[in-house]
Amino acid sequence: MIKTSNLYQASEFARMTGVTVRALHHYDRLGLLKPSGRSAAGYRLYGERDFARLQQIVTLKFLGLPLKQIKSLLERDALDLTATLRMQREMLAERRRQIEAAIEAIKRAERQMASESEPDWEALAKIIEVIEMQNNWDWVKKYYTEEQLAELSARGTPEVLERGQREWAALIKEVEQAISEGVDPASERAQALAARWKALIEDFTGGNPEILASLKRLYADQANWPAGAQRPYTDEVSAFISKAAASDK
Amino acid sequence: MIKTSNLYQASEFARMTGVTVRALHHYDRLGLLKPSGRSAAGYRLYGERDFARLQQIVTLKFLGLPLKQIKSLLERDALDLTATLRMQREMLAERRRQIEAAIEAIKRAERQMASESEPDWEALAKIIEVIEMQNNWDWVKKYYTEEQLAELSARGTPEVLERGQREWAALIKEVEQAISEGVDPASERAQALAARWKALIEDFTGGNPEILASLKRLYADQANWPAGAQRPYTDEVSAFISKAAASDK
DNA sequence: CTTGACCCTGACGTTGCGTCAGGCTTTAGC
DNA sequence: GCTAAAGCCTGACGCAACGTCAGGGTCAAG
């Protein structure tokens, strides 16, 4: 009759938290969220603690982590809360960067869909590639492999990525400017641009050859599409840079 | 030796387009993308037409449509290209709105994570609820049920939602202002606010009782969470409005 | 004629639950 | 005291969109 303090049955708890009863069963079996208690008949009974835990679960789930990871994270959570926190912040920041890039892409798509009468599937496809590249949450895994977790909490990487993003955009614009002005790829100015380009790549990949390789693969793939280009930077830009870099040695 | 015009084998086609060979198999069996030809040995051979088709597929997939829908859409595509186009535009716009809302939420999250030392899971959970509500792509289905497709192309709904979004924010701010000034819920000013509130809900739901119902459910659910509120509008605001509305009749 | 690189077709695995199915409990009403 | 409506439980299968073998042809090169 009297709810022993505040214990809720499954469906009630589910209604309050917005998840389904089935999901609760699921989390229970996975060991993610064991109800605080069970009634004599075996009914699941959820208490205050379970609210908090569930909140953490849905939060991490939202950030794109699979339930397995969430489990292991929450298990040794208390251990280094600070590191976890830092990761959270970085993940949010990264997420935001991705989203902002997506908006840019969508704006472009809207413009061209408004101006033309036929859907330019190819342009749309380009945009989608760019967005998906950034929505590819592989980097999260990187954050969460045990080894790199340590490495990460060692380094400081706060908003390096965000800054890098802007610098890229600026540099690309400058190169386009140089091209339109007919600057010679062998000139000093071109050399300087190429040097900055190289530095940014170095900066972005952190000297990690795997990241660099996957970047190259990405751009190589796009170059193979039969029809015209709509990449973050055009072939002209990359051609200019590689010419400049070549005439350097 | 000579590629009969330009026919590509599976892995080559896959590399060029960025999808996996397995996915191509999948699309083939689903009848979504049958290769233009087959070699004597039964090898899949993809041609130019297949590029275009695949682009359409990945584009629609990106927009959140399940493969089944994509199939039926592409099958009768030529029929009413204009309607499809309009839908595309609206979907992009809606997508963008959602994303911008997400950015707002993330900014808030970043602020509070920066200021406090503990992760405020509850606040994060609220934010996620809001975002997920808007990422809930159920409305896409709505766009694509046969009946409503007709209805949609009849109406004009371009950026009504976007405008609505801003008006909401403004109205909520005004109500909060009124509360802080101690305005009487029975006063003229409160009445006016309540009236605008009602109008906006009407506007937003388009008189559709289902949408209204799900909205109510959403807010009711949130009200049941044990701990403090972080909703788009606070309990105070909704209390004020309902008082004002009540004292009206 | 043998590699090695591809290709094919099943067929089962995965993620995060949805959706029965079969069978107890608990509660409300008669 | 009994029954019917609600809820709860534990399997177990279903779904989306492929990933990942497994077992077995094909093809160009050496």
pLDDT at B182 over 70: yes
Mean pLDDT of B150-175: 47
24-53 of B, contacting A, C-beta below 8 A = 48, 51-52
pLDDT at site A131: 43
* Cα separation, A117 vs B215, whole angstroms: 36
Q: Which of B97, B70, B99 is nearest to B84 (CA)?
A: B70
Cα A61–A126–A179 angle (5° rounding)? 125
Q: Is the CB of B2 under 7 A from strand D?
A: no
Q: How far is A103 from chain B (nearest CA, A)?
A: 6
Q: Is the CB of residue B57 less than 8 Å from the CB of residue B27?
A: yes
- What's the pLDDT tens digit per position in B55-98? 778 767 766 678 887 887 777 644 344 444 455 555 556 555 65
Contact between B11 and B21 (Cβ < 8 Å): yes
The mean pLDDT of B121-139, rounded to a whole number, is 45
- On whether the CB atoms of residues A91 and A143 are closer than 8 A, the answer is yes
Partner residue facing A121 (CB), from B55, B93, B100 = B55
Query: Could you tell me which of B36, B76, B38, B71 has the C-alpha nearest to residue B56?
Result: B71
Tokens of B47: 């041609």
Distance CA B90, CA B158 (A): 6
Residue B189's pLDDT is what?
86
Q: How confident is the model at residue B207 (pLDDT cuts 50, 70, 90)?
A: very low
Query: From B224, which residue of chain A is nearest by alpha-carbon distance?
Result: A16
Neighbours of A17 (CB within 10 A): 25
> Which stretches of chain A drop beneath a pLDDT of 50?
1-4, 77-85, 117, 124, 126-166, 203-232
B189 strand D contact, CB < 7 Å: no
Q: Coil, helix or strand for A6?
A: coil
pLDDT at B62: 66
Higher pLDDT: A50 or B170? It is A50
* pLDDT in the model for residue B122: 53
- pLDDT greater than 70 at residue B109: no
Q: Mean pLDDT check: name the lowest of B36-40, B121-125, B131-135, B181-185.
A: B131-135
Enter the DSSP assignment of A45. E
Helix (H, G, I), strand (E, B) or coil at B247: coil
Helix (H, G, I), strand (E, B) or coil at B119: coil
Query: To which H or E segment does residue B188 belong?
Result: helix B188-205
Whether the Cβ atoms of residue B37 and residue B7 lie closer than 8 Å to each other: yes
Band of pLDDT at residue B240, cut at 50, 70 and 90: confident
DSSP B6-62: S-EEHHHHHHHHT--HHHHHHHHHHTS---SEE-TT--EEE-HHHHHHHHHHHHHHH
User: B113-121, long-range: CB within 8 Å, 24+ apart, which pairs?
Assistant: B113/A85, B113/A88, B113/A89, B113/A92, B114/A89, B117/A85, B118/A81, B118/A85, B119/A84, B119/A85, B119/A88, B121/A52, B121/A55, B121/A56, B121/A59
Distance CA A225, CA B232 (A): 44
